[in-house]
Structure 1
Amino acid sequence: MFEEADTGHEAVMPEKIIKDPDWWRGAVIYQIYPRSFNDSDGDGIGDLNGITERMDYIASLGVDAIWLSPFFTSPMADFGYDVSDYEDVDPMFGTLADFDRMAKAAHERGLKVMIDLVISHTSDQHPWFRESRSSKDNAKADWFVWADSKPDGTPPNNWLSLFGGPAWEWDSRRCQYYMHNFLTSQPDLNFHNPDVQDAVLDVARFWLDRGVDGFRLDTVNFYFHDAELRDNPPLSADEAPSTVDPTNPYGFQDHVYDKTRPENLDFLERFRALLDKYPGSTSVGEIGADGQAVELTASYTDADKRIHMAYSFDLLTPQHSAAYIRRIVEEMNSGIGSGWASWALSNHDVKRVGSRWGDGKDLARFAPLETALCASLRGTPCLYQGEELGLTQAEVPFEKLQDPYGIRFWPEYKGRDGCRTPMPWVKDNGNGGFSDGDPWLPVAAEHLQLAAFEQDKDAGSILNRNRTFYAWRQSVAPLKKGDMVFLESEGETLVFTRSYENETVLCAFNLAETPATLILEGLELENLNAPGFSGTVHKGTLALEGLDAVFARVKS
């Protein structure tokens, strides 16, 4: 079915055709982790030409856009989230000309291109930081967050790094501490300096001029810190630590001073003003703020003022009961105001949903159900590579771990490598067709049976069920842009309506493995026969098999 896209070597600037500037609202965004998607040169690491080779596959999914995790020049201490040159491609991924060809191939297939913009911090190898640390009076001395020690030589306050330990590192050149929310090799930029804001806006402009359609903004609420460097208070006694890793002391603080500062809103307005100069461009922010997801999404995505949409980690949790999902989504819908949410059930930082929510369930039924559920919520869904295949979390032995986060907290927390293992394309070799060389992470043996080209042959596979659902969804406007109202239902069922203009669609999901019958009085329904699901409708009665769904038009 798939033909490899042209990977010739002429550099062609991608052209964008903007038909709907609001295309991002309800679009399906496919996240690509370039290191693990497809390796075109046999070095064991995925690259931009590898993405171009698989562009027909991506387009066949029925998604609207791709989001690429970082591919910029980097020492790779945090796998590209430590940038040393924002305006070039790391040689392991290719060249700027390779990026241009990849973007052109995407645009030719009607796919938008979004890239990860990591501007809360840089690599310590970035020329900006090299100059900043050289003295206290150089031109970029105030481009990063520097502070003197306390009189006893200890760090200036109690702020902690998300990767463990203090958020401060002593630098012997300046005899000061610099701040790092993540690795010590990822110093935080000082957004209180307007020159820093101008510089990162210039980075965004560089890529917009190159033809990208938007940005995923990494750690969007981490840009500013408290200028007075006040200590974070502890969580109150009735609050529990709630980081991704419960063994990390970071979760014991209330992070009111080291992130989510009010000054962020002014910068996001500057960022939006830049995007508005490029019609059809968009942005989605990653919000890492325990207990503040609704409030921040509402303020950060306030219509036409700041970024277009944002996602939190509230559905990237182990909790997955129908009651939990309903509460999270209802709270977002009721509190978001004019803003717009984005939803993800998997990404490159958390355990795959196939294991996190689907453990012990029939994967062939569960995987299409969860992708359909995510794509039916009010907001913009993100689909993480391999999720369309039903991949589960891979077990990576300690000796093959690459993630510094996992290495530090092993064995209680095994890090992020298990969701970053290479995509399986074929089942008949140990590398899954990902690479002719030794992959940077091992391909999970259980993933080979779920290989993309193997599933492509089976009309009833997880892959093909997802494809047909997304293709069907394209013509159902309420599922993309409609309002959302939950209806009462029992057990592990979720029932809600999506309404847009003069059309209302009812969506019902049975998250349990046992059948469910739902009686909805006063509704006349017409089954829309969504592909891949067998739920039935008779007047106001819905019958659902286990791990099943039904979509119906509300006639009255």
Structure 2
Amino acid sequence: MTKQPEWLNTAVFYEIYPQSFMDSNGDGIGDFNGIISKLDYIKELGCTAIWMNPCFDSPFGDAGYDVSDYKKVAPRYGTNADLKKLFKEAHKRNMHVLLDLVPGHTSVEHKWFKESMKAQKNEFTDRYIWTDSIWKEPSGYGSLRGISDRDGSCVVNFFSHQPALNYGFYKPSESWQQSFDDPGPQATLEAMKDVMRFWLNLGADGFRVDMAGSLVKNDEDGKGTIRLWKNVRAFLDKEFPSAAMVSEWGEPDKSLQGGFHMDFLLHFGPSHYNDLFRCREPYFSSRGKGDVKEFVKKYLENYEKSERKGLICIPSGNHDMDRLARSLNPQEMKIAFAFLLTMPGAPFIYYGDEIGMRYVEGLVSKEGGYGRTGARSPMQWDSSKNAGFSSAEKKKLYIPQDPAPDRPTVKQQMADKSSLWHEVNALISLRMQTPALQNLGEIDFIETGYPLVYKRTAVDGKACMVIINPSQKKCEVKMKEGQVLHITGKGAEYKNGCYKVEGGTAVIINLA
């Protein structure tokens, strides 16, 4: 297991979608100076670190996940110097910043790809994955064809304007498929290390890596990709040992082998994450018709594979999924946060989730957002023009805001002691004061229905019991009496050898 930076042991992350967070120059799009102006807010909420979605130069066909220059920030956010200032301002506040690294593909506008398209062999010919004939499509992959004089079809990831970078095939089966050790894939890897080196030298604290498990193709059990990231780990250990690495992989046993410090729980695949928050009957709905068992089963499977280390990160949401508020009401979200902020691994709070920002329905897709666009609307700060996000005319805003007159705002919720914001703030504060609740504390599940009951244990043996009861029905949990540290919801009492917990309530108990 890779030794991680000390600050990561207690980190609580705040995810910033930069174009929607805070606009400082009135063009309707968020920027670095806007983020800098709100660092004190993030710190006051209790978060100690930031994950910022891609901010590199891009044609924005996929909201910045289609990079055209890895070493230059998109001008709409500012300059490289502005980003460097953001790092410094965060560090002044004892906060850390992870950039979003997209190593699997670029935009078709990247200079590497433009050179790769040329018929004449050059330094970038093998930077991307090409078949050896225009008539040969890569089986199992989408491709770009007939776009240049080069004979061949180019493999793409996701959208058709995202050509896949070449890290080789674990088991090449076609003449055009290269192995990880071939010169082309090795040059690609070195180029990506150089990108990481560039931003770490400017002050970045590390990276959240987009789709980290997808780089080597035809990869049996992830063995080739694990080998690739071990190579990166050796580079970082030598040059940047304090750089933090969080993977979007969804298989912690593999990502941790590869040298990542933490893995990100995915909202797709076998995790059952959406059983909790985003399905027809979410577990955290007060209707009490949800099911947490499959989530716990898969979580424990990954937890055991990762040597019972608290290294699986569970986000409140992110730019790729519906807002929590689309499925849960404010009281239900409080209970959901009681869960999110008492689980192992670094919590990730998606900007605006702390005030229950809503999914904006019926929006036209923006920059490849499609159904995700409604979860990317500008932050709602106050009741002034454009909810304090921008001085631009409404029609110039990056994405339309929630038009409802009762839309939640930071100012309103900070003034209301019973608000979701204050509940999130209190839970983060308790987490910071209680080692058993922090990122590396162990977890043992006691009950996996209504209620969900689990024990968190610190390295020194001190422990807490967490009782989560989202349903409207009261429940009883037999256990020894302890010190109640926090109650979210309606209330609980200890009587006749058990805690009687009201519906819609979470209780955190310090065990003697």
Q: With the length of structure 1 as denominator, give the TM-score of the two structures.
A: 0.80
Counterpart residue number, 1:402: 366
Matched positions, count: 469
Report the equivalent of 2:174: none
Change (3 A) 1:261 1:146: farther
Note the alpha carbon deviations across 1:501-555, whole angstroms, 9 max, x for none: 120100010121x14222324x342212357773334474223233210011222
RMSD: 2.1
The one-letter amino acid paired with 2:447 is: E
CA separation in 1, counterparts of 2:52 and 2:497? Answer: 44
Judge which range, 273-282 or 528-537, deviates more: 528-537
CA contact (8 A) 1:396 1:417 kept: no
CA distance in 2, matches of 1:62, 1:53: 16
Q: Could you say which residue in structure 1 is the equivalent of 2:445?
A: 486
How does 1:465-484 map onto structure 2 within 5 Å? 465-480=423-438, 481-484=440-443
Which amino acid in structure 2 is aligned with residue 184 of structure 1? Answer: S
Residue 82 of structure 2 corresponds to which residue in structure 1? 98
Q: Could you list the per-position Cα deviations for residues 359-379 of structure 1 after superposition, in whole angstroms to 9, with x for gaps in the alignment?
A: xxxx23122221221121122
- Would you say the 8 A contact 1:225–1:261 is kept in 2? no
Tell me the equivalent position of 2:377: 421
Displacement of 1:335 in angstroms is: 2.8
1:466 counterpart SS class:
helix
CA displacement 1:11-69 (0-9 Å, x = unmatched): xxxxxxxxx93321352111000010011111111111110111111111111200100
Mark the CA change 1:473 to 1:405 in structure 2 (over 3 Å): closer, same or farther: closer
Q: TM-score, normalised by structure 2?
A: 0.87
Q: Using a 3 Å threshold, how does the CA distance of structure 1 residues 214 and 445 change in structure 2: closer, same or farther?
A: same
Structure 2 contact 63–368 (Cα < 8 Å) conserved: no
The Cα shift of 1:221 comes to 1.1
Letter matched to residue 266 of structure 1: R
Q: Report deviation, 1:477.
A: 0.3
Map of 1:21-36 to 2, 5 A cutoff? 21-36=5-20
Offset from partner CA, 1:344-401 (integer Å, 9 cap, x none): 1310001112224x1xxxx23122221221121122211110111112221133xx32
Query: Cα distance, 1:157 vs. partner?
Result: 1.4
Q: Which residue of 2 aligns with 1:554?
A: 511
* Rounded Cα–Cα distance in structure 2 between residues aligned with 1:473 and 1:540: 27
Q: 2:347 aligns with which of 377, 381, 396?
A: 381
* 1:144 aligns to 2:101 (yes or no): no
What is the CA–CA distance in structure 1 between the aligned matches of 2:334 and 2:120, rounded to whole Å?
56
Pair 1:63–1:87, CA change in 2 (3 A): same
- Secondary structure class of the residue paired with 2:404: helix
- Relative to structure 1, is the Cα distance of residues 487 and 80 closer, same or farther in structure 2, using a 3 angstrom cutoff? same
Match of 2:331 in 1: 365
**Aligned 8 A contact 1:275 1:282 in 2:** no
How many angstroms apart in 1 are the aligned matches of 2:10 and 2:335?
18
Matched, 1:443 2:401: yes
Q: Is the 8 A contact 1:145 1:179 kept in 2?
A: yes
In 2, Cα distance between the equivalents of 1:533 and 1:476? 23
- Compute the displacement of 1:479 (Å): 0.7
Question: What is the identity, as a one-letter code, of the residue corresponding to 2:147?
Answer: D
For the structure 1 residues 328 and 386, does the alpha-carbon distance in structure 2 shift closer, same or farther, using more than 3 Å as the test? Answer: farther
Match in the other structure for 1:232: none
State the match for 1:11 in structure 2. Answer: none
Partner of 2:263: 310
From 325, 333, 352, the equivalent of 1:354 is 325
Matched, 1:337 2:313: no
Q: CA deviation at 1:224?
A: 1.2
Identify the residue that residue 214 of structure 2 maps to in structure 1. Answer: 222
Cα offsets for 1:267-300 (capped at 9, x unmatched): 111222233232432111112xxxxx4xx31121
2:499 corresponds to 1:542: yes
Deviations for 1:412-451, whole angstroms, at most 9, x for unmatched residues?
xxx210110111111243x211111121110012385311
Does the CA contact (< 8 Å) of 2:143 and 2:153 recur in 1?
no
Percent identity among equivalent residues?
31
Task: State whether residues 524 and 539 of structure 1, in contact with CA within 8 Å, keep that contact through their aligned partners in structure 2.
Answer: no
Alpha-carbon distance between aligned partners in 2 of 1:149 and 1:425, rounded to the nearest angstrom: 54
CA distance in 1, matches of 2:490, 2:462: 21
Q: What letter corresponds to residue 118 of structure 1 in structure 2?
A: V
Structure 1 pair 96–143 and aligned structure 2 pair: CA distance change class (3 A):
same
The separation in 1 between residues aligned to 2:490 and 2:140, in whole angstroms, is 52
**Counterpart selection for 1:39 from 9, 23, 27:** 23
Aligned match of 2:233: 272
Q: Deviations over 1:185-243 (max 9, x none)?
A: 211110131011001001101111111111000010111113xxxxxxxxxxxxxxxxx
Give the 5 Å matches for 1:111-122: 111-122=95-106
> Residue type matched to 2:159 in 1?
L
Q: Output one character per residue of 1:441-474: Cα deviation in whole Å (capped at 9) or x when no partner.
A: 1001238531111211112211111112211210
- Equivalent in the alignment of 1:14: none
Instruction: Find the residue that maps to 1:216 and give its secondary structure.
Output: strand
What runs of 5+ residues in structure 2 fail to find an aligned partner?
Answer: 169-184, 283-290
Aligned to 1:392: 358
Shift of 1:105: 1.5
2:501 is matched by which residue type in structure 1?
A: L
Match in the other structure for 1:196: 188
* 1:283 aligned residue (222, 245, 251): 245
Q: 1:80 to 1:121 in 2, by over 3 A?
A: same
Tell me by how many angstroms 1:333 deviates.
2.0
Q: Which runs of 5+ in 1 are unaligned?
A: 1-19, 160-165, 227-255, 288-292, 407-414
CA distance in 2 between counterparts of 1:393 and 1:185 reads 27
1:298 and 2:253 correspond = yes
Partner of 1:5: none
Partners in 2 of 1:504 and 1:346 — Cα distance?
A: 28
Q: Deviations over 1:290-321 (max 9, x none)?
A: xxx4xx3112113xx51111113232453443
Partner residue in 1 for 2:138: 156
Q: Find the residue that maps to 1:404 and give its secondary structure.
A: coil
Q: After TM superposition, give the deviation of residue 336 of structure 1 in Å.
A: 2.4
